[in-house]
Structure 1
Amino acid sequence: MAIANLHDFLFTFFKANHCDILENRGDKLSIQLTDKMDEYLLNRPFYWQYVKKLGLQGEPGKITLLTNPLLDDEEGEPIHFGSPRLQQIFRLLDEEGKFVRLYQMVQVDQQTALVPWLVLNIKVSFIGKQKKEAIKSIGINMINGGMINNIIDQLEKIQWDTKIPDFCYNLSPLIRLKSSYQRIIQLIEKELQETEHDWAIESWRHMEEEKKLLDYFYQTDKKDYTALYKKESEAIEALYRPQIAISIINGGIFHMTQSTSLNQLLD
């Protein structure tokens, strides 16, 4: 698993939800939560009921997440794929929506065009004897079609707002949203097709071995146990047949200046 991808995803998630990042390094992320994020993530319903009932100003908590499993001597909460905390964040994304629209924070005194980029955080699940996942962050320039892998690494260096800055205007996309989405998915599929998947070969071989073993047990009585044999054979395939699933975690359209698109993103 690419731990850096998980770290970047968490950074983007908390920034998009207006949380202050107190510490950000490659394996540790400390966050000052907002009221809303505290309510959802820290499970203090009675505290927030009390605060709201009395009309008081709440004091949201802080959270430190460790994306490197080797940092067992650090203060913080280990987080990884499959951990309850990450599943909690995924559920919040499902409940609150998966799409944002953000604008680069710039101070200009003349009319300035902003270029739209579609950015998708995508989970690739490798399913077979051993299951694993990877997160990819890909952006596409909706004017010229240029695409960037791991675009989150660059986006986190830019300040964003939910409102368009003064004197700025959006360029109308030449590549529509649906086509932009399809191009990103096609890029991922192309990368997967060009990658050697030893895990899939191993999983397929294991599946065949399990089916041969099943055949051995049923070879004398297959006629009498046809339904049961079929059920167990299907169960083996469900467990071990290698497959790859692509799903969208979240995404958004990021509007930025042409100079940022040409220089900072391509550095």
Structure 2
Amino acid sequence: MTSPHFDFVKDFFNTNGCTITEESPSHMNIQLTNAMDEEIMNRPFYWHYMKKMNRQGEPMQLTFTENTDEPGIYLHAGTPKLHTIYETAMKKGKLTRLYEAVDEPQANGALTPWLVVNALLHYRGKQTKDEPVSVGLQLLHGTFVPRMMERISNYAFNMTVSDYTFPMTPIIQLKSAYKRIEGYVENHTSSQNHNWARDSHQQLEQEEQLLQSFYESGDMSEDQFNKEHEQLFKRYRPRIEMEVVNGGLFYLSQQTSQEMLTS
């Protein structure tokens, strides 16, 4: 039985168009594509030269093994190349396009487009916290659905359209849709209790007054005062930062879309 690391690496390269040229229960040889070689092999000068010379270039091959006595990259939790692959997978996995798996479409096989954005709200100030948010926006009529990933987690999706179904063309463009979701999240944060922000402002003012007194007494230089003041501002200034984790276009059946809107 292969390890989760081995299975992940295999799935990663298959998904990204690389060829497994040789495989056994304990090792596999991978022929990289040009794009994947550029991504994970750290040969920027080589590929820059190839492109300048208008040449195809020769992507490398990798061998992974689960046995320390076999040639190749030994796969375990601390393998540097495995961490590079994880980082690449996270970066490539930020955006996706998926279609609901539909075995037998009902009246019609139209799939409704939704933009789904998963994000973390970072509340920063005297106290800090992170709040995950997941918002779906139906791209035909502009209806918002909160906790979208939670709602669709039990549905099956494919990277290709199921037989007898077809994706509908979005009416709302993606750039506009993303702006709408940003506005939705801003309204969400505005409706929260903001005592934490007032506490942060008060703490910042107190710390600034104390720092000013030290400076005026001659206990610190102007340069040190400026640095300390900058650090206080970073530490206590209340703010909310939105970090997008991932997102994508999800095409849902008419029945599922209706369930999203009524649940």
TM-score for the superposition, normalised by structure 1: 0.65
Q: Matched residues in 2 for 1:238 and 1:255: separation?
A: 42
Pairwise CA distance, 1:99: 0.6
**1:129 match:** 126
The structure 1 residue matched to 2:155, chosen from 158, 173, 185, is: 158
Q: Matched residues in 1 for 2:222 and 2:170: separation?
A: 58
Q: Which runs of 5+ in 1 are unaligned?
A: 1-31, 41-47, 60-86
Larger radius of gyration: 2
**1:247 match:** 243
> Identity of paired residues, percent?
29
Corresponding position: 1:51 with 2:20:
no
Q: 1:145 aligns to what SS in structure 2? A: coil
Q: Matched residues in 1 for 2:183 and 2:84: separation?
A: 29
Give the paired residue count.
200
Q: Matched residues in 1 for 2:94 and 2:242: separation?
A: 16
- Contact 1:143–1:173, Cα closer than 8 Å, also in 2: yes
Pairwise CA distance, 1:220: 3.2
| 1:52-90 deviation digits (Å, cap 9, x = unpaired) | 15xxxx99xxxxxxxxxxxxxxxxxxxxxxxxxxx9999
Q: Which amino acid aligns with 2:183?
A: Q
| 1:69-126 deviation digits (Å, cap 9, x = unpaired) | xxxxxxxxxxxxxxxxxx9999455433411111111123675111000001011001
Change in 2 beyond 3 A, CA 1:96/1:130: same
- Contact 1:93–1:250, Cα closer than 8 Å, also in 2: no
**1:104 match:** 100
**1:20 match:** none
Corresponding position: 1:175 with 2:147:
no
Pairwise CA distance, 1:248: 0.7
Q: Which amino acid aligns with 1:173?
A: P
Q: Matched residues in 2 for 1:49 and 1:208: separation?
A: 63
Corresponding position: 1:113 with 2:110:
yes
Q: Matched residues in 2 for 1:176 and 1:102: separation?
A: 17
| 1:38-64 deviation digits (Å, cap 9, x = unpaired) | 999xxxxxxx995115xxxx99xxxxx
TM-score for the superposition, normalised by structure 2: 0.66
Pairwise CA distance, 1:249: 0.2
Q: Matched residues in 2 for 1:90 and 1:191: separation?
A: 32
**1:142 match:** 139
